[in-house]
């Protein structure tokens, strides 16, 4: 026997959840009191920042993570990035405080009414235990649901007076592993791949999340199949300098259908089929025959056509590699790369990415949230790392990139992390720079400042919007803000200043922010 607090801490130790991200409130004091020396508490100055940091930590480290939030108000602040964690399929357990049980019938101050319904539908499971004694078991349950494929956040609400109750230890069970495809379905796919002439592969973020990039490279090379990145992919699941890489599918039906028209069979691996963002009419041609491999039954159910095969990516890819002979097809032509951009004033985003590509160490992690410059990123900063080389937000919820980079650096201290963030995106979570300074994480934050919400303006004008209010941003001094929060800073206004600023920042063992004024002229997003 022991208190719920002690039993829970022993459980968290055995589950590897001793790094906790949070922003404390009074309902969390009983959980946090007497904080153990072998636990690490990473403080975010707002709950959404804490959740996004935890997400980056879990994504980069391929490990589950615990977030501690404050009752209803704190959970509410964090829900934007709980939604992100759901879309990112992040193994995250959200542990929230709740008022003491005796006060709950009277709807007390700081109480969460129907606490488990608040984060739904963007958690896989939610619970407020019926008894204090059940808190450790609820957390063990949440861990297994969260880490089971498809992974995602779970939520446990704990009344403040539960932590001092006596309870029994909870036995720790190993994580539930991935699962293999149905043998009959994989044989049907193997036969189809053997009989087609121009196979294509569309790869999504689940491949990198399952540490299967090297396996996918072997499969593509065995098939001589061109590989596309799925629309709006939040990770890089195929090295972009590989000769078989064909580029990035657009989140628009017509453009996507045109890109895939050259194939007589398309295998979609670890991605939806497909994620769209804009609509410009129905495609002129239908999609080729599709085979979809996913660990998510909802993705398979939503697919408009094709044979769905439920499996975690790595096991399915290995099953295919074991069955397929080496192809004798002629490989498709490689993706053409644009010329190196010129140094201009104002500095172009393409130039920033080009210089960054020539400066980054080979195993760097790039965290990105500059939506209006995504095309320039794809063209001039190929991601080549085969282990979590790239992270961005799958949900479209702004404010993720800056704190996620901090979490990634905490999870992978042996690697350099560079966050490329738009000025608008940065201001959703700028206070995360304080955590970067307090934790001494050597992240390089590159702020591309075009003084506007350019993505909103570009898409708005594309659909006929005129004189849109609320898209212009002016007068934000990122150097002053970052310096006040404890980061080292660099101001770049001329092209020849960029390389030296990046080199200095990447060589430093402290967080650095580089503020770059970039060309404000709008570009085409897709």
Residues 385-429: tens digit of each pLDDT: 999 999 999 988 999 999 999 999 999 999 999 999 999 999 999
Residues 6+ apart with CB under 8 A from 298: none
Residues of the chain with CATH 3.40.50.1220: 183-323
- Name which of 56-60, 274-278, 353-357, 369-373 the model is least confident about: 274-278
Mean pLDDT, to the nearest integer, of 438-456?
Answer: 86
The predicted structure's pLDDT at residue 524 = 61
Q: What is the mean pLDDT of the chain?
A: 94
The model's pLDDT over 132-156, given as tens digits with 9 standing for 90+, comes to 999 999 999 999 999 999 999 999 9
Q: Which of 39-43, 123-127, 272-276, 439-443 has the lowest mean pLDDT?
A: 272-276
All CATH 3.40.50.970 domain ranges of the chain, comma separated, are: 2-167, 349-517
- What is the CATH superfamily name and number for domain 183-323? TPP-binding domain (3.40.50.1220)
Q: What is the pLDDT of residue 280?
A: 75
Average pLDDT value for residue range 327-334: 93
Q: Is the pLDDT of residue 512 over 60?
A: yes
Which distant-in-sequence residues (6+ apart) come within 8 Å of 402 by Cβ? 52, 369, 419, 421, 425, 426, 429, 430, 432, 433, 445
> Could you name the CATH architecture of 2-167?
3-Layer(aba) Sandwich (3.40)
d(CA 438, CA 352): 28
pLDDT at residue 230 in the model: 96
DSSP 210: T
Q: What are phi and psi of 426, to 5 degrees?
A: -60, -35
- Whether residue 522 is predicted with pLDDT greater than 60 in this model: the reply is no
| Percent above pLDDT 90 for the chain | 85
Domain 349-517 matching CATH 1.10.3720.10: the answer reads no
Tell me how far apart the alpha carbons of residues 407 and 494 are, in angstroms, rounded to a whole number. Answer: 31
pLDDT reading at 470 higher than 80:
no
- Residue 224 scores a pLDDT above 90: yes
DSSP, residue by residue, 367-407: EEE-GGGHHHHHHH-----SSS-EE--SS--TT-HHHHHHH
Reported as a pLDDT band with limits 50, 70 and 90, residue 453 is low
* More confident: 174 or 470: 174
pLDDT value for 282: 79
CA distance 22 to 273: 35
Confirm if 266 and 199 have CB atoms less than 8 A apart.
yes
For residue 48, is pLDDT > 70?
Answer: yes
Write the burial class of residue 352 (CB in 10 Å: 0-12 exposed, 13-18 middle, 19+ buried). buried
More confident residue, 315 or 523: 315
The CA distance from 59 to 387, in Å, is 11
Contact 74, 157 (CB under 8 A): no
Under DSSP, the state recorded for 124 is: S
Question: What was the pLDDT predicted at 462?
Answer: 60
CA torsion 416-449-345-513 (nearest 10°) is -30
Interatomic CA distance for residues 439 and 405, integer angstroms? 13
């Amino acid at each position: 026997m022991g208190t719920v607090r002690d039993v829970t801490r022993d459980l968290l130790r055995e589950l590897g959840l001793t790094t906790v991200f949070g922003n404390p409130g009074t309902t969390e004091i009983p959980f946090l009191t007497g904080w153990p020396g072998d636990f690490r508490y990473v403080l975010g100055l707002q709950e959404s920042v804490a959740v996004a940091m935890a997400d980056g930590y879990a994504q980069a480290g391929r490990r589950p993570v615990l977030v501690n939030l404050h009752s209803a108000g704190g959970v509410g602040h964090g829900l934007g990035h709980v939604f992100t964690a759901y879309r990112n399929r992040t193994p995250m357990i959200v542990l929230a405080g709740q008022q003491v049980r005796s006060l709950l019938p009277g709807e007390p101050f700081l109480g969460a009414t129907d606490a488990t319904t608040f984060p739904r539908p963007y958690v896989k499971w939610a619970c407020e235990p019926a008894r204090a004694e059940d808190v450790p078991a609820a957390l063990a349950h949440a861990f297994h649901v969260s880490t089971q494929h498809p992974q995602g956040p779970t939520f446990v609400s704990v009344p403040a007076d539960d932590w001092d109750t006596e309870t029994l230890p909870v036995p720790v069970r190993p994580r539930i592993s991935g699962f293999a495809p149905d043998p009959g379905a994989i044989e049907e796919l193997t036969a189809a791949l053997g009989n087609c002439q121009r196979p294509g592969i569309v790869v999504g973020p689940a491949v990198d999340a399952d540490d299967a990039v090297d396996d996918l490279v072997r499969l593509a090379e065995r098939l001589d199949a061109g590989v596309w990145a799925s629309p709006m992919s939040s990770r890089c699941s195929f090295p972009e300098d590989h000769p078989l890489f064909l580029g990035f599918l657009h989140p628009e039906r017509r453009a996507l259908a045109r890109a895939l028209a050259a194939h007589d069979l398309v295998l979609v691996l670890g991605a939806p089929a497909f994620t769209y963002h804009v609509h410009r009419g129905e495609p002129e041609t239908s999609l080729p025959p599709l085979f979809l491999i996913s660990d998510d039954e909802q993705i398979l159910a939503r697919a408009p056509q094709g044979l769905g095969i439920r499996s975690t990516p790595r096991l399915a890819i290995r099953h295919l590699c074991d069955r397929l002979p080496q192809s004798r097809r002629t490989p498709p032509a490689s993706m053409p790369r644009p010329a190196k951009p010129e140094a201009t004033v104002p500095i172009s985003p393409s130039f920033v990415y080009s210089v960054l590509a020539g400066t980054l160490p080979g195993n760097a992690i790039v965290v990105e949230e500059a939506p209006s410059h995504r095309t320039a990123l794809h063209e001039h900063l190929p991601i080549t790392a085969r282990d979590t080389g790239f992270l961005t937000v799958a949900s479209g919820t702004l404010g993720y990139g800056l704190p996620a980079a901090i979490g990634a650096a905490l999870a992978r201290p042996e690697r350099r992390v560079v966050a490329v963030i738009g000025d608008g995106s940065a201001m959703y979570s700028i206070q995360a720079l304080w955590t970067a300074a307090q934790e001494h994480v050597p992240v390089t934050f590159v702020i591309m400042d075009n003084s506007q919400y350019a993505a909103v303006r570009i898409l708005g004008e594309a659909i006929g919007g005129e004189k849109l209010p609320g898209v212009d941003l002016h007068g934000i001094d990122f150097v002053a803000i970052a310096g006040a929060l404890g980061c080292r800073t660099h101001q770049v206004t001329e092209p020849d200043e960029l390389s030296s600023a990046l080199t200095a920042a990447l060589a430093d063992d402290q967080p650095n922010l580089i503020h770059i004024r970039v060309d404000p002229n709008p570009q085409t997003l897709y």
